[in-house]
């Protein structure tokens, strides 16, 4: 396997689009219901957990970009191959591919669950899953530039939804936020860990990085993207905490949709139905980018054709999404995915960075000793 990728000039994206990709992938299904999971651990101080998670994400992103800067034209699959050697590198890369596929599958399945719970209780899963995956396939075969373009469109088309938070604020009781820092640091930390499904998405940079044109600007734009994402999360979290009482929040699965239920316009009631429909536009970039990352991995590892590997991945996800899952099983799936993503996205990058540094040091030492002996 070639460690470096040759990316033709016509197939690159600019740094700010890479930032948009990070933001678009982070913001997705998680935001619809992350409040309850965090508040379960951190209580009414959940917003502090959001800030903590944001800080950790900034740091992890920085480490990821640091790692990538050591290999200007390689993706994670190439780096792992180089650092761990052929066999171990492939094994680790397969874990990453599985993680990408799993994440895409969970996003798809949970969106379908929301549609079935809130809008069409009788809509069969296979139709919705088919449409979404077909749209994803159609865009992915266009390559990273098309995906980035679509992400740009999706962010522009849905950014205004933030302003809906004005409506629930009418019912705000600010007492609910006090006293600040009432819970232990351990609970805040656990709340931060519970946020993993909501905050993952920036790890796609591992695969996208070689495609970025002006690589010196990636750090800036990606960090900005994460900052925007977390500001939105923080805003949503604070509005949720003052809008619901704690006991009520514990019984609310999709708190953000319940916030949207308060939106009331003279010509339009039941705004949450509009939001759920628009959410298809929001989650498509997530699914597309994750699928693209996994298909890229198969291509890099086994030289599979992008299209044919997509056929396989799509049919696996499609069949998996058809399995009937109850709410309890979905919750279990989220927990498992949360644990996996903490290892893969939040802990592994540091390990990889250390390994890359060690590798470079030994290489340097080797070439030095070679130079001395010669």
Partner 1 sequence: MLDERKKRMPFIKRFLALWCSGVMIVTGCGDRQIFDETGLATAVGYDLLKDGNIRGTAIMPSINPEAKKKIQIFSATGETSKSIRDRVNLQSDKRVLGGQIRVALYSENLAKRGLGSIVDTLYRDSSISSRVYLCLFEGETYDMLTYPYSEEGNIGIYLYRMIEQNIEGEKIPSSTMHEFFRAYYDKGIDPIMPYIARKGNELQIKGIALFQGERYVGWITPKEAFLIKLMHGKFSIGSYDTSVPAHIFGEEPKSRGSKKDRVQLVFDTISSKSQIDLTQVSPPLFDIHIRLHARILELTLPLKLENAKLMKIMENALEKEIEKELQKVVSKLQGLDVDPAGFGMVYRANRRGMANMTQAEWRKMFKEARFRFHVKSTIIRNGVMD
Residue 261 or 337: the one with the smaller Cβ distance to partner 1 is: 261
Instruction: Count other Cβ atoms within 10 Å, centred on residue 307.
Output: 12
In this structure, the chain runs to a length of 374
The sign of the torsion formed by the CA atoms of 221, 228, 347, 206 equals: negative
As a whole number of angstroms, the distance between CA 151 and CA 145 comes to 10
Residues 6+ positions from 354 with CB-CB distance below 8 Å: none
Residues 6+ positions from 319 with CB-CB distance below 8 Å: none
Per-residue mark of binding to partner 1, 24-53 (x: CB under 8 A)? -------------------xx---------
Residue 122 or 328: the one with the smaller Cβ distance to partner 1 is: 122
Please state the closest distance from residue 48 (CB atom) to partner 1, in A: 14
Residue 21 or 129: the one with the smaller Cβ distance to partner 1 is: 129
Per-residue mark of binding to partner 1, 243-262 (x: CB under 8 A)? xxxxxx-xx------x--xx
Per-residue mark of binding to partner 1, 284-323 (x: CB under 8 A)? ----------------------------------------
Please state the closest distance from residue 112 (CB atom) to partner 1, in A: 13
DSSP, collapsed to helix, strand or coil, labels residue 212 as: strand
Residue 315 or 335: the one with the smaller Cβ distance to partner 1 is: 315
Per-residue DSSP letter, 211: G
In this chain, which of 134, 166, 185, 302 binds partner 1, going by CB under 8 A?
A: 134
Please state the closest distance from residue 261 (CB atom) to partner 1, in A: 5
Q: What part of residues 151-210 is at the interface with partner 1 (CB under 8 A)?
A: 171, 173, 175-179, 182-183
Look at residues 196, 205, 181 and name the one whose alpha carbon lies nearest to residue 68.
Answer: 205
The sign of the torsion formed by the CA atoms of 191, 197, 200, 206 equals: positive
Please state the closest distance from residue 270 (CB atom) to partner 1, in A: 6
As a whole number of angstroms, the distance between CA 18 and CA 223 comes to 11
By CB under 8 A, the count of residues binding partner 1 is: 37
Please state the closest distance from residue 125 (CB atom) to partner 1, in A: 12
Measure Cα distances from 29 to 41, 96, 108, 315 in Å: 20, 20, 9, 22
As a whole number of angstroms, the distance between CA 44 and CA 112 comes to 30
Stretch that binds partner 1, among 29-37, 54-62, 265-273, 320-328 (CB under 8 A): 265-273
**∠ CA 49-51-55, rounded to 5°:** 115
Residue 141 or 336: the one with the smaller Cβ distance to partner 1 is: 141
**Dihedral angle over CA of 312, 318, 324, 326, nearest 10:** 100
What would the DSSP string read from start to end of 155-169? Answer: HHHHGGGGGGGHHHH
Q: What part of residues 113-132 is at the interface with partner 1 (CB under 8 A)?
A: 117-118, 120-124, 127, 130-131
Please state the closest distance from residue 130 (CB atom) to partner 1, in A: 6
Chain positions contacting partner 1, by CB under 8 A: 43-44, 117-118, 120-124, 127, 130-131, 134, 171, 173, 175-179, 182-183, 243-248, 250-251, 258, 261-262, 264, 269-270, 272
């Amino acid at each position: 396997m070639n460690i470096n990728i040759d990316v033709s000039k016509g197939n690159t994206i600019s740094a700010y689009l890479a930032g948009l990709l990070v933001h678009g992938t982070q913001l997705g299904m998680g935001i619809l219901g992350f409040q309850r999971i965090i508040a379960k651990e951190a209580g009414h101080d959940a917003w502090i957990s959001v800030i903590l998670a944001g800080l950790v994400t900034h740091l992890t992103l920085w480490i990821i970009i640091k790692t990538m800067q050591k290999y200007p034209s390689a993706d994670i699959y190439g780096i792992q191959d180089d650092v761990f050697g052929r066999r171990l590198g492939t094994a680790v890369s397969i874990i990453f591919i599985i993680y990408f596929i799993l994440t895409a599958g969970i996003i798809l399945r949970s969106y379908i669950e929301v549609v079935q719970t809130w809008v069409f209780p009788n809509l069969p899963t296979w139709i919705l899953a088919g449409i979404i995956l077909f749209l994803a396939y159609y865009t992915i075969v266009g390559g990273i530039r098309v995906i980035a373009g679509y992400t740009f469109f999706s962010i522009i088309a849905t950014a205004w939804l933030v302003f809906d938070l004005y409506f629930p604020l009418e019912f705000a009781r600010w007492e609910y936020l006090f006293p600040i820092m009432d819970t232990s640091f351990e609970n805040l930390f656990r709340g931060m860990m519970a946020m993993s499904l909501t905050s993952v998405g920036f790890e796609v940079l591992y695969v996208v990085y070689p495609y970025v044109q002006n690589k010196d600007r990636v750090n800036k734009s990606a960090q900005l993207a994460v900052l925007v994402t977390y500001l939105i999360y923080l805003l949503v979290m604070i509005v949720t905490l003052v809008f619901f009482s704690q006991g009520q929040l514990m019984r609310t699965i999709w708190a953000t949709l319940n916030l949207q239920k308060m939106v009331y316009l003279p010509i339009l009631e039941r705004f949450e139905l509009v939001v759920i429909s628009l959410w298809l536009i929001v989650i498509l970039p997530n699914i597309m980018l994750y699928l693209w990352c996994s298909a890229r991995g198969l291509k890099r590892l086994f030289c599979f054709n992008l299209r044919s590997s997509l056929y396989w991945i799509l049919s696996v996800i499609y069949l998996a999404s058809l399995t009937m899952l109850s709410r309890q099983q979905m919750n279990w799936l989220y927990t498992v995915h949360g644990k996996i993503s903490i290892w893969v996205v939040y802990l592994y990058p540091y390990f990889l960075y250390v390994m890359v540094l060690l590798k470079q040091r030994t290489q340097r030492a080797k070439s030095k000793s070679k130079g001395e002996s010669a």
